[in-house]
Amino acid sequence: MLEQLIKNYLVTHAKIDPVRFDHPDLTMADLGLDSLALVEMLFEIEDRFGFQIADPMQFQTLRFSEMVASIEAEVRAHHHGHLPQVDALDSSVSAS
């Protein structure tokens, strides 16, 4: 769920070609996001899930799948092991 939300956000807001996510070894560097775009994406996650990610720049050198797993672990840690349901990573959509 979280992976698809992040992909949708990156496709919509960072204009990443969805086909790029078909590659299992895709790195964050491969996406060509600058640090501002990465931080904006993470702000959306923080707003949606109600906590602050300690070191946003840690994700720049990871594979996309590693970044998603790391973010999911942080979300679960802040929500007693649960991954809250959300509709989208966009401030115009409220959590369910």
Vertex 61: Cα angle to 65 and 2 (nearest 5): 30
* Domain presence at residue 56: yes
* Domain presence at residue 89: no
Question: What's the pLDDT band for 88 if we cut at 50, 70, 90?
Answer: low
CATH number reported for the structural domain that contains residue 31 in this entry = 1.10.1200
* Domain presence at residue 83: no
- Are the C-beta atoms of 53 and 16 separated by less than 8 Å? no
Left (φ > 0), alpha (ψ -120 to 50) or beta: where does 81 sit?
left
pLDDT, tens only, 5-39: 999 999 999 999 999 999 999 999 999 998 899 99
pTM: 0.83
* Confidence (pLDDT) at 7: 95
Number of domains in the chain: 1
Nearest-Å Rg of the Cα atoms of the chain is 13
Whole domain around residue 9: which residue ranges?
A: 2-78
* Domain presence at residue 21: yes
